[in-house]
Every structure is written in structure tokens, then in C-alpha cells.
Structure 1
Amino acid sequence: MVLASPTVQAERIVTEALGAVLDQQAGILERVEEAHQILVGVVLAGGGLEDLCQRLAGFLGGAAMVTSSDGRVLARAGSEGDLAAALALDCFDRTGRLITEHEPVGIRPSHGANARRAMVRIAAGSLNHGLLAAFVGDRPLTADDVHLLERAATVAALAITKEQAVSAVESKYRAEFLRDALSGRAGSPTEAVAHASALGWDIDRRLVVVVAETDEDDAHSTRSPEEVGVLQERFARAWNQAMAVRDPRAPVMGFSQEVVALCGVPSNADTDAIMRTVSEVVRVISGIGGGGRRTFSTGVSRPIDSVADLPQAYDEALSAVSVGRQLHGDSAVTHFDGLGVFRLLALIPDSADLRRFVDESLGGLAADDSPENVDLRRTLSILIDTNMNVAETARQLFFHYNTLRYRIVKLEKMLGPFTTDPQLRLKLALALKVHQMRGI
């Protein structure tokens, strides 16, 4: 018997090892290709992102999610335990948003807790549609798992593109109807209610109109029109998603730079209760920042009980969002009833006239160039609000009574005898209100 030389034996071992590796790689590629074909079949058969996540969770074990590019979860699948474990991870903020700005995409190191999750981008051409994420609890995700995720992401892009095409057609008719309803051109209340019901909306109940406007002025933005369109679409989708959880039959549509929602409210709900509900929706949509989210301000109308009152309620919500931003800055949430005299002041188109009125009425106190001016304006404001009650004003300002008396003398030397002249007090009160408004 002739023994093979050591060189031949070594070559045989290398050949067998290489063959085993190639067989393993071929098996992996076959598994990935098979999974890819199954996922494509799911979408072609009419399935959506939820079905896609369900299949992917089955392939990898654990949970799978699709998020928007700013981390808002659009679809998810897996057992309740796997989903709960995933959402409890530090990669989600308290609003349930995936903190995309802190999560790398692609292959990760195979050690550490972060190795048990992976994310890949969902892209179609130059558009970023979000992330496809996988979470497992019993092993690190390998490069082959990430490769499967990347193949699945191309299928997810197909599903999203398909949903967007269908949604664009549906949105056109929904938007046209809602525009007509908000302008009073949707026919009789009975016809409008029936049309809305056919679209899946319920407007035959007590409603408030909510208008949310991005604080960034898209008309003078440095962003490209395509990017602005994507951001506005994301904004509208966020409102739709948040409202679908709380009021599935509420009309929600995006128009240009604003989103309009008709929110149902209980018949016994007062303004405070309504604002708590709206503020909670706003909180969910805003998250805690990050992910490229843009700030927005929100205006809320008075409640209405008839579709015929929608145009007036829409005007109220528009006034609330516009004046609220002037009073409180970006991210304001304002009810129409909270505007008071500011409603009338906002109707003056020329802000230069308002500025002149403030300067003429308050004189040197109109400037913010010294802390003393700010302090004296506050003293004057509280005096007027308390109807010249010196004792109450001193209590609110934590001043000694005589100190406040000295300040009143100083203010009257600057502004005139406002303590005895009601017309002057009215003029100063209006000037102080105008001074609170921004952009004048």
C-alpha cells in the first residue's frame, strides 16, 4: 500500500475544507434567495409591511420592524414577548421612536448586547424610506442575517412604493373633499356626512378643527422642493398614524405646509380637556426631538356640532396657530379661546404700525436694552392686570408696599398719570399686549 505524501494529504484536507465552506456558503445563499422570493411573493400577493415583518420575524426569530427615516414605527411583527423586549431597549425613546441618529446600519461587531439587533436602510433610488430592523434575544445577528435584511429591505421599498401610489390616488379625492368641507362647498350637511362616511370618516358628531403648521417656512427654505415634499409627507403620515390610534375615523389630511385634523370630542368636554387630548397627540408626534423632525405649532378651534360650521372652525384654528406662534414661539399649542385681544391685534396687516404704536405708548420702556426696562414693564403689566390694586401687585412681585409706590411714581413720570386716567391705562394695556407678540 502506497501512502500519500504529506503534500498530497495537505492538499486533500484543504480541498475538503474549501468544499465544505463553499457548500455552507451555497446553502446560505440558497436560504437568502428562497427567503427573498417568499418576501417578494408576499408583496405581489397584496401583502403590506406588516406581512413582510411577520415573515422576516419567522426567518430570523425575534421581532422585525419597519420605521420611518426619523424612527417612527410603521409596522412590526413578532411575539408579544419579543416585541416588548425590543421596545424596552435603549435604542427607543419614551415615545416609542427608534433613535435612528444613534443606531448604525449594516453589520455590527459580534460581541455585546447591540449585536442582537441590526438595521438596514430602505431606499428606492435617491429616496430614503426608513429602516428595516431586526431584534433577537438569544444570539448575535451575523453578516448573513444582515444580508437577508438587505434583500428584505428591497422588498420593503417595493411595498412602500406600492402603498404610496395607492395612497396618492386616494389622498387626492380625500383632500379635495376636505378642502370643500372646510370652505363650505361640500353640499348640504347631510350630503357631506354621507360623502365623508364613504371615505371612512365620521364628521356627524361634535368636532374641533386642529391645524398643525411646520415652523420652518418652506416658501423660503434652502431645501430642494423634493426634500420639502418628502418632509411634509412624513409630517402628514405622522399625524395620520397618531390619530388612527386615538380616533380612527377622524379626517386627517396634509395640505402644503399644514396638516388639518377634525377630532371628535365628547359633548361634556371643556377647553382644558380638549387641550389635554390635543397636547398628548402633539407630544407623540413631536417625540423628544431627533431623527430630523421639524418643529411645528398647533391651533385648535372651538367645538362645533354641525358640518355647516366647519369653515368658521377652520378659520379659528388658523388664527390660533398663527397668533400662538407669535405669542409663544415655535412649537406652540394654542386654543382659539386663549387668544383674547390678540385676535384683533393679529388682524392689523402692517406690523410697522403696531411697532410705532408700542414705541409711542411705552416710550423708553419699549426697548429691551436694559433689565430695568423689562422689570418696569412687568410691574406695569401686573398693576393693570390687578386693576391698580397696589397691595395685590406688591404681593405678586414680592415687593414692599413702599417700594412699589416708588415704582409707580417713576412709571407715571415716564408714561403719564395712568393710575387716574382709564383711557391711558387702556392704551398702555394694548401696547403691552402688542409688545408680547413676536415679529413686529
Structure 2
Amino acid sequence: MLLREALHRPRLRLTLLTGAEALERPVSRVYVTDLPDPRRYLSGGEIVLTGLVWRRDASDSETFVAACAEASVTAIGAGDAVFGSVPDDLVDACRRHRMPLFEVPIEVSFRDIVDEVNPSLWAQRATGLATVLGRHRGLVAAMAAGARLVDLLPAAAAELGVDCWVLTPTGRQVAGTTALAATDRATLAHAFLGAGRLPAHATVEGRRVVVSGVPGRPEHRLASWLLACAAPGRDPFPSQEGGLADAAAELTSLVALERSQVDEALRIERRLADQLGAALTGTEQVDLRGRLLSCGLPPDGTFLVLAANLTGLRTPPELAVTICAELVEPATERVAVTDAGLPDTILAVLAVTPAQAPYAVEAIRTGVAAYAPGLGGGRLAVGVSGPAAGPGALGGAVEEARHALRTAVARGERTSVVGADELASHLLLLAGVPADTRRAFQRRLLAPLLAYDRTHNANLLRTLDSFLACGGSWTRCAALLHLHVNTLRYRIGRIEQLTGRDLSRFEDRVDFFLALRLPR
């Protein structure tokens, strides 16, 4: 039912005060309240009837209307019993929030409105349910006959009167009524992963978009697809969200069918990939060419190897495999992803041309960064090898990717990607040192400075870092820290006294530099 239909009841004598331009908004139900903030009881699309008992002064109207607007209410109906008419401040607040407001005469009870509107709502819902079931049967039959989501979704969305898009958590578009720009896809993915609960909301192309999830295998938000729905055109009114939620619920079943087919295909591919992983890590002695061919990879091609590690999340092991499969999807169509062979490490073998390799690494970096809002306390570290020509070079590429992964883990960041081009530095040395040894080395050098800074707020650690970054130049470091050179000399002297080191010695400078680069 639309708001126009609900208000057009001659027996009720309702008078529209604001919002004549929004009469096409859908109505989900009629809700009566005198709470000053009824948001917790609203789900969107309601006609909210209120006797204004909550109003003490003009500011209360702004509070009430703002709460209703945030909850995507379709309209507010105000009774005349308390004040004799609708206060001007309530009318002004509704205009500011573009909220339709109508006046309920004193002789008309809220029960009269409920009894008048509800039967029509029930009748329309019954008719709509039959339509939904018929449409759903048709879509299921079409998919069983071989139709794909990319073909069916635009037609289904048009019939429901919405625009919609299906994206992965990294923002890769699976299907949609239009092609979304990269920035809009990133906005929707960030809203999906970062939301405390779903459905979430985002603004794309000036429109309010409802974002919900379509679970996959395993059932985790990081492995789910997102479904984003918006009113067609550029309608800015958020009260369309009641209808959008219904459309999203219906479209979710269609998207879930496609997702289940994709998951089943990946499950079969991963069985073959596991055999390749076992061969690459030496747990099976077999012909690599045959394993590559079984995974659809060219046996004499050029490859990149990705090694990944997902920690800090209580998740099923296959989640990390699903995430890695998504990371490499934009980089190449020919890939094998497995968790077989190495403990707590996912391997992916990508077939690329030498010219594609740098772009593939950048695509992986972009995907890893996109996952950050959904990791919470978890960490995602990735190492990528350089190009490997032919199956004979794959063993070395695996080792190179593992070295890069250890470097990424050592950084201690929520997300980190290290490529082969970064391995010719001190980071590779640090990654190869056991974690306990690294921590002991860092503690021995920096613990006295950390303790002194905590007690005296002296910023000795920052001073040391800046001094090394300036190559030991007193004047440049003093200017950088906005200190007098004599003050800087005093601080460096204190550092040497506390640590027993001499910063004029190259060896001691190197030790401090490495200790500062380790995660604390």
C-alpha cells in the first residue's frame, strides 16, 4: 500500500500538512506511540500515529521527527486532542526532514485509522505473496535450465522496481542492473564489512542504498556476497527502504542460488588444487605438469605464487581459502588455491604473463586492503613471489612467497602484503629470525628507553628514530624535532647512557635501526 491510498479515506478526514511530493512512499504498517524516541520499535515504512503527549517545548518536535526519519518512517500522523491543532514547530521539523505529516481530527480515534488501513494492507500482502511465489518458481526454473545471475538479476530487479547490485567483500561486481564505478563499489563493500549489523546503509550516486548479505560457504561475512538495493532514478527519500527491504529479501533467494552453484564448483576445483599443493610442498612426489593441467593451469606458463595467513579470528579453516580465492580472482582466471601441504598457510598458484605480473600484485594489494574493515581483531598477511617460468621454478617461487609472508607477518599490521621486490632489504633478514629472538633483541635495546619515556615523558624513542632517519645529522634532526641542537645532544647522550651504546658507531646505529623496525 502507498501513502496516497492510506490517506485517501473520506471517512477519516485526514489533512496532509507536509510531504505532498512523497505520497508514493510504501506503507508497511500503522504504529501508535507517544514515546519521545520510538526508533527501537520501528523497522521502516510505518505510519506513526502520536497524540503528542511527549511534547513539552519546540525542541521536542525536532527530536521526535529526527528519530522517525532515521528509522525510515513513511509518515507521521498527529492527533489534535492535546493541543487542539498540530503545533507549528512539528510542521517545521517535518519539512526539514522531508517527512510527510498529516493531522488527525479530534473526533477520529487512532483505532479508526488502524481498522481502516490494516485490512487493505493484509489483502495486498496476500496478493503479493502469491505473486512472489510465482516469480520465485520462474527464476528457479530458469536457473535450473542454465540461466545465470548476470542475465536474470536485471529483469527481476526491474519487475520489483529497484536498482540492485551483487558484490563480493572486496567490491568486485558479480551482477547488477548497471555497472558501478570503482569508488561506489568500494563504498558499498566498506559499509557491508564495517556494519555492526545488517542490513546496513550507504549513499551511492546520491541515493540511499540498503545493503544486506548473502551467505556463502563458509557462513561468515568475510566469505559472503553483498546485495545492495536502491530506488530507481535518484529518489533521495529514505522511506523507500521498507519496499527496498522487501525487494532485497526476494532477490536474496535468487542470488543465493547462484552463490550455491559457485561454491559447489569451487569445492570441486579445490580438491584438484589440494593435490597440486601437496606436490609443491614436497609431501607427494608426482609430476607437476600433470597436476597443473588438472587445475587448468598451463604446464609451461609463467606463474606467481601467493602465500597467505589469517590469524586472530575464530573461524573455520576454509574461510582463509575463500578469502584467498577472492583476492586472486581479479588478477587472473587461471588459478589454484589450496591449504594442503603447509600448516596455517594458504597457497595460490596464478598463471600470468610477465607483463601481467605487476598488475596482479597490485590487484591483490587492493583486495587485501578492502578486507580490513571486516577483520576486527584479526590479521591478514600475504606474500607474493616474483614471476616463475615453468613448473621447474615453482618450488623456488613457493619459498620466495613464504619468505615474503614471514616479512608481512613481522610487520604486525592488520593487513600487509609483501611482494618479491621488497625482499632485498633488512625486512627479509628480520622475517627469517625466530620471533622469540626478535623480541629479546628488541627488548634488550629499547626497554630502557621505553621505561624512561613512561616515567619522564622524554620522547627519547622518537628522538632516536628521528636521529637515525636523518642519517645522524645533528642540524637536520634538531630542525625536524623543533629542538635546539644542545637539547638534542643532551637527549642522545641520555640514550647512550641508558643503553650502553655509542651512536657514533655504525654497528650500534644498525642495531637500533633494526630494533625500531620490529613490531612492538
Residue 330 (1) aligns with residue 429 (2): no
Identify if the C-alpha distance between structure 1 residues 427 and 314 changes in structure 2 by more than 3 Å, giving closer, same or farther. Answer: farther
Report the aligned-residue RMSD. Answer: 4.7
Gaps of 5+ in 2: 1-116, 201-205
Counterparts of residues 9-408 of structure 1 (less than 5 Å): 28-61=128-161, 63-68=163-168, 70=169, 72=171, 75-78=174-177, 83-84=178-179, 87=180, 92=184, 94=186, 97=189, 99-100=191-192, 101=195, 105=199, 114=208, 122=214, 127=219, 129-137=224-232, 147=246, 149-183=248-282, 185=284, 187-188=286-287, 192-193=288-289, 195-202=291-298, 204-214=300-310, 216-218=311-313, 223=314, 227-229=315-317, 231-232=319-320, 234-239=322-327, 243-253=328-338, 258-263=345-350, 267=354, 274=358, 278-287=361-370, 289-290=372-373, 295-327=379-411, 329-336=413-420, 338-339=422-423, 340-349=425-434, 351=436, 353-358=437-442, 364-365=448-449, 369=453, 370-378=457-465, 381-382=468-469, 386=471, 392=473, 394-395=475-476, 398=479
Identify unmatched segments of 5+ residues in structure 1. Answer: 1-16, 107-111
Equivalenced residue count is 379
CA distance in 2, matches of 1:113, 1:31: 28
Query: Structure 1, residues 373-413: CA drift from partner, whole Å, max 9, x if none?
Result: 31453366358xx5xxx6x5643653887777777766666
Amino acid at match of 1:438: P
Corresponding residue of 2:43? none
CA distance in 1, matches of 2:417, 2:216: 36
Offset, 1:118: 5.3
Q: Is the 8 A contact 1:358 1:432 kept in 2?
A: no
CA distance 1:258–1:366, change in 2 (3 Å): same
Q: How far is 1:125 from its partner?
A: 12
Q: Structure 1 residues 344, 61: closer, same or farther in 2, change over 3 A?
A: same
Q: Distance in 2 between matches of 1:204 and 1:125?
A: 33
The amino acid that maps onto 1:59 is E
- SS of corresponding position for 2:365: helix
Letter of the 1:374 counterpart: L
Matched position secondary structure for 1:200? coil
Cα distance, 1:429–1:265 mapped onto 2, change above 3 Å: farther
SS of aligned partner of 2:296: coil
Aligned counterparts of 2:490 and 2:119: Cα–Cα separation in 1 = 97
**Percent of paired sites with the same residue:** 19
Does structure 1 residue 426 correspond to structure 2 residue 507? yes
Seen in structure 2, the aligned counterparts of structure 1 residues 229 and 56 have a Cα distance that, compared at 3 Å, is farther
User: What SS does the corresponding residue of 1:201 show, helix, strand or coil?
Assistant: coil
CA contact (8 A) 2:218 2:316 kept: no
Change in Cα spacing, 1:173 to 1:310, as seen in structure 2 (3 Å) is same
Question: Helix, strand or coil for the counterpart of 2:411?
Answer: helix
- TM-superposed deviation, 1:38: 0.5
Residues 237 and 324 of structure 1, relative CA distance in 2, 3 Å threshold: closer
- Given the two structures, how large is their TM-score scaled by the length of structure 2? 0.57
Is contact 2:270–2:337 with CA below 8 Å preserved after alignment?
Answer: no
Q: Which structure has more RCO (C-alpha within 8 Å, separation ≥ 6)?
A: 1
Tell me the TM-score normalised to structure 1 length: 0.66
Cα distance in 2 for partners of 1:203, 1:397 equals: 58
C-alpha distance in structure 1 between counterparts of 2:319 and 2:363, whole Å? 22
In 2, distance between residues paired with 1:198 and 1:63? 40
Q: 1:350 to 1:120 in 2, by over 3 A?
A: closer
Deviation at residue 35 of structure 1 after TM alignment: 0.8
Give the whole-Å Cα distance in 2 for the aligned partners of 1:309 and 1:368: 51
Provide the secondary structure at the position in 2 that maps to 1:333.
strand
Give the direction of change, closer, same or farther, for the CA distance of 1:132–1:52 in structure 2 (3 Å limit).
farther
Deviations 1:201-238 (A, max 9, x none): 24634433232322x334xxxx3xxx434743542342
What is the deviation of 1:41? Answer: 0.5
Distance 1:137 1:180 in 2: 52
Q: CA deviation at 1:173?
A: 1.4
Query: 1:12 is matched with which residue?
Result: none
Residue matched to 1:11: none
Distance 1:146-1:328 versus aligned 2 partners, 3 A rule: closer
